[in-house]
Amino acid sequence: MREFKEKEGFSFIETTPGSPVLLLLHGLFGALSNFSQLIDHFSKEYNVVVPMLPIYELDLNETGLNGLLEFTESFVNKFEFKDMNILGNSLGGHIAQLYVLAHPERVKTMTLTGSSGLFESGMGDGYPRRGDKEYIARKVAETFYDPAVASDSLVDEVFDTVNNREKALRIVLTAKSALKHNLGEDLYNIKCPTLLVWGNQDTITPPFVGEKFHELISDSELVFIDNCGHAPMMEVPEQFNQILGDFLIKNNT
């Protein structure tokens, strides 16, 4: 397990300073484990950078997409990352789109997988009752095509998060912010090469969402993965890494 750096008020992973940057943005319940195999695979050729987004630390009046975008801008500026390959899953994809729209000069490529920004099915029938671990286990399992990917440790992590009153409030506020912030009218402004990787069995951002991103982002390619849900980099990491690797080679030479 890689250790986080604590520097200039930021907590992040950085694998290979001096190499081309691959910036990873996690989702609402994201953690290092979401990207572990991706980090290991790409750290030889890329400086894989993973900031921990302050979803649970922002002041309430800053909680939401705008606050997370400002954090990402500050992080990139502080460490002077340029010509970035930016990748986001779920909420992280939403932040990636906002960043690319605001700072296209800093981004070489963008990869979205199971991204919000157009449509998403959130917690479904409302926020879970505090202490209802069985409900949480079901919802975490629904993230994947194979429920076995929802390990006990992952369920425990999400359960602990939603049972912390302050964190739970920020999750709700952030999720509502994402639902309100539809980017459909802005995506035509994204001009960098964009890779869209979607699970055919994604029930949170279903396949039609990937198709709509492909329609609205001019320089995009869409790849569907069968027997895969909302987090391809976790559920089918070898296949995901092959698709991403081919895309990065093509657009970083």
148-179 per-position pLDDT tens digit: 888 888 888 888 888 888 888 888 888 888 88
H or E element in which residue 108 lies: strand 107-113
Q: Please count the structural domains in the chain.
A: 1
Give per-residue pLDDT as tens, 66-77. Answer: 999 999 999 999
Residue-wise pLDDT tens digits, 133-142: 888 888 888 8
CA distance 233 to 84: 19
CB 68 within 8 A of CB 53: yes
Burial 82-94 (b: 16+ CB within 10 A, else e): eebbbbbbbbbbb
Kindly state the helix (H) or strand (E) to which residue 140 belongs, with its residue range.
helix 133-141
What CATH number corresponds to the domain at position 175?
Answer: 3.40.50.1820
Question: Under a CB-based contact definition with an 8 Å cutoff, are residues 249 and 106 in contact?
Answer: no
pLDDT, average across residues 195-200? 98
Range of the domain at 74: 5-251
